[in-house]
Structure 1
């Protein structure tokens, strides 16, 4: 079951109580009376909350007590901008007399805020309805994400994801002293398939290129992805190649990478290793991660790209991981490439 997390940024104690009460009413109306509302007073506290956790909704005062700033410098506006960058719905409120309502609406439209409410003529019913609409939409996104990670062996066993959107981390490495790969094309194909998807708003693709060993753990900590996709070189000894400080080959052994994913087993739900001979790595990681895809032999550039196209095409259509894997293998076959049996999937 999803547990909503609402961040309320308001420096006035009376309005803290008013807004918290309305949010709590909305949560009760959708059957989530005990879910989390965190209240902070300042921009710095709100920024820290953004760094420390995922949120389903931001509700912020625009001025936050500083009437000297121009409307485009209002701290609440900057919080809305931060929320927009993280694809978190945001509602702004304001009681600052110098803030022109139409100007504020224009600014919020620019930053894709969900709505604006003036404290001078605060409409409680519309505010509650707006909060309910946003959280109901977040709930539907979560259900879509749960369906993606459903196991075909147990239709009732869902791996719940509380955060929206579903975050995909694309990692790639192409050392200068190894054969060149078409990793840029693979990334572009993945981006295109997700952008064209019916459920495109449900996905957030992050990328880290030319990764070194430390970059992988840093990205896992920073992004907290649900799906990790690695594209690069693998060896028949089971090692994956990343880059050292000179951009040259730096091998990573299967037990080392598996140990890293053990540390994030409560966060990552799927790992795709689109690299030659990555079966050994996949088997090791599958001890901790629900779904892991690897390659049991050499895989050419065309086949690797075709697999990614089919996989993310299906994922964007809200198919399960297992079904997306099947679409990836079929995509290879449709291109007339005799490597459709190279990808293998492991389930914990």
Structure 2
């Protein structure tokens, strides 16, 4: 499982922060949105699905969301991106959020295990396991806009093979990943995308930052590209 070092902030809060380049909204349900000047139909939607069941070790998912928000806000193309975060995600939430937001990027942050499963939340606080193979089929059924999937969880490299059949680019981790490294990777990856880098180049920069961050093995992250996948994220208005 991903190594925990910090506590996760509770849900049920509401916050609005204005910036020179736009606004960041954090709603009572835990959703976070960066609203800029671009039309909503032209934005690249990043759906961050976060789960840290009560029965599992605490992860710094709130810090990861904050770092991604900040890196996008400071990027050149910040008006192009919309970040939507959904907290304490349960299995039944997946289809709801995928249909509701129709994301171009799905980013999962939480626990994974060696059997190739991610752990989602439940009413009783007990973790609910979802196989990455099942998740791949769900993405296949809701892949209208989906271009990139990032599974920022331990032992999630299984996702690379399972999901890459249906999605252009998939990122997974091939071992246990400490919180600090998971956060550094995510922040660097989205910062690079925010400066117009291709998906493969953004991945390369994020891996390089793992080394700078002092990761024991920067090669912990793996990227799979579907044959013929366009390297740049292109968004079609709907």
1:214 aligns with 2:92: yes
1:310 aligns with 2:161: no
Q: Distance in 1 between matches of 2:84 and 2:191?
A: 17
| Residue 136 (structure 2) aligns with | 258
1:273 aligns with 2:159: no
1:341 aligns with 2:222: no
| Residue 204 (structure 2) aligns with | 326
Q: Note the residue ranges of structure 1 that are not aligned, 5 or more in a row.
A: 1-84, 90-137, 139-162
TM-score of the superposed pair, with normalisation by structure 2: 0.77
Q: Note the residue ranges of structure 2 that are not aligned, 5 or more in a row.
A: 1-34, 227-238
* Residue number among 237, 252, 265 corresponding to 2:115 in the alignment: 237
Cα contact 1:254–1:280 (8 A) shared by 2: yes
* Residue number among 51, 54, 73 corresponding to 1:195 in the alignment: 73
Q: Which has the higher contact order (CA 8 A, sep 6+)?
A: 2
Q: Distance in 1 between matches of 2:101 and 2:205?
A: 27
Cα contact 2:38–2:79 (8 A) shared by 1: no
- 3-state SS of the aligned residue for 1:341? helix
Q: Distance in 2 between matches of 1:222 and 1:280?
A: 27
Residues 252-284 of structure 1: CA distance to partner in whole angstroms, max 9, x if unpaired?
Answer: 012210110111233100000000001112310
Higher helix share: 1
Query: How many residues were matched structurally?
Result: 192
* Superposition deviation, residue 88 in structure 1: 6.2
Cα contact 1:310–1:330 (8 A) shared by 2: no
Q: Distance in 1 between matches of 2:151 and 2:214?
A: 22
Q: Distance in 2 between matches of 1:333 and 1:88?
A: 35
- 3-state SS of the aligned residue for 1:171? strand
* Superposition deviation, residue 215 in structure 1: 1.1
* Superposition deviation, residue 338 in structure 1: 1.5
Give the aligned CA root-mean-square deviation in angstroms. 1.6
Residues 101-134 of structure 1: CA distance to partner in whole angstroms, max 9, x if unpaired?
Answer: xxxxxxxxxxxxxxxxxxxxxxxxxxxxxxxxxx
Residues 138-158 of structure 1: CA distance to partner in whole angstroms, max 9, x if unpaired?
Answer: 9xxxxxxxxxxxxxxxxxxxx
TM-score of the superposed pair, with normalisation by structure 1: 0.53
* Superposition deviation, residue 339 in structure 1: 2.8
Cα contact 1:309–1:331 (8 A) shared by 2: no
Cα contact 1:329–1:341 (8 A) shared by 2: yes
* Superposition deviation, residue 248 in structure 1: 2.0
1:249 aligns with 2:132: no
Please tell me whether Structure 1 or Structure 2 has the larger radius of gyration of its CA atoms.
1
* Superposition deviation, residue 322 in structure 1: 0.7
* Superposition deviation, residue 230 in structure 1: 0.3
Q: Distance in 2 between matches of 1:278 and 1:336?
A: 21
Residues 65-106 of structure 1: CA distance to partner in whole angstroms, max 9, x if unpaired?
Answer: xxxxxxxxxxxxxxxxxxxx79665xxxxxxxxxxxxxxxxx
Q: Distance in 2 between matches of 1:87 and 1:216?
A: 29
